[in-house]
Amino acid sequence: MKEMNRREFLTLSGAAVVALSLAGCGGPSAPPAPPAVPTGKEAKVLEAIKKYRAAAGVTEQITLDDGLKPAVELVAEVAKGDKKYEDVIGDLSEIMKLYPDLSAPIGVRMENDDEHMNVTPVCIYLEDVEKMALNLPSQVDDTAKEALKSARLIAIQLFEYGGAKYWVAVVSKGKVTP
């Protein structure tokens, strides 16, 4: 291989810098950002949800959406008892402006008493994806089942509560483009 002199090195380096800076301009040739890729336990929950959907005859893909992450984080905080549902409803309403088909939280039971909404986690995380998929229908209500079947976008949050691992999710059929 030919050894490069200083002038050739600087010329090639400069060309590389220009090419990289132009690539960041976001012109029509810029590729869209790839969807979020699940890792670890989140990936297992997503796989269990996909198995549930497949068993229900749903063939359409469901993908993680980072824009839904703030909503599912709020749901997890409420499920753990760190926040009250009434205190996060305004933030959830803001997220619904971009996701008008945002589902009710999946993985929690919500009961309204005279004073406020009580939220309890119900979807237990298991390392076994098959068991999680089989348990899913018995852990969620019919509204959540339908939301999981019709959704295209999802965000998942895992957390510990009372010595057990749980997961919650929010789903949407789509997103409004600003």
Which pLDDT does position 70 carry in this prediction?
94
Structure confidence by residue, pLDDT tens digits, 101-142: 898 899 999 888 777 788 899 999 999 999 999 999 999 999
Sign of the CA dihedral with 127 first, then 128, 130, and 131 last: negative
35 CA to centre of own chain? 10
Structure confidence by residue, pLDDT tens digits, 57-91: 999 999 999 999 999 999 999 999 999 888 898 88
At 21, list the tokens: 């800076």
| Largest separation between any pair of C-alpha atoms in the chain | 81
pTM: 0.75
Residue that wins the pLDDT comparison between 2 and 96? 96
CA–CA dist 124, 13 (Å, integer): 53
Output the average pLDDT for the chain.
82
Burial (CB count within 10 angstroms: exposed 0-12, middle 13-18, buried 19+), residue 132: buried
Could you give all domains of the chain from N- to C-terminal order, each with its CATH number?
A: 40-172 (3.40.33)
Tell me the CB-side half-sphere exposure of residue 97, using CA atoms within 13 A.
Answer: 6
Place 32 in a pLDDT band, splitting at 50, 70 and 90.
very low
Which pLDDT does position 27 carry in this prediction?
44
Which pLDDT does position 29 carry in this prediction?
41
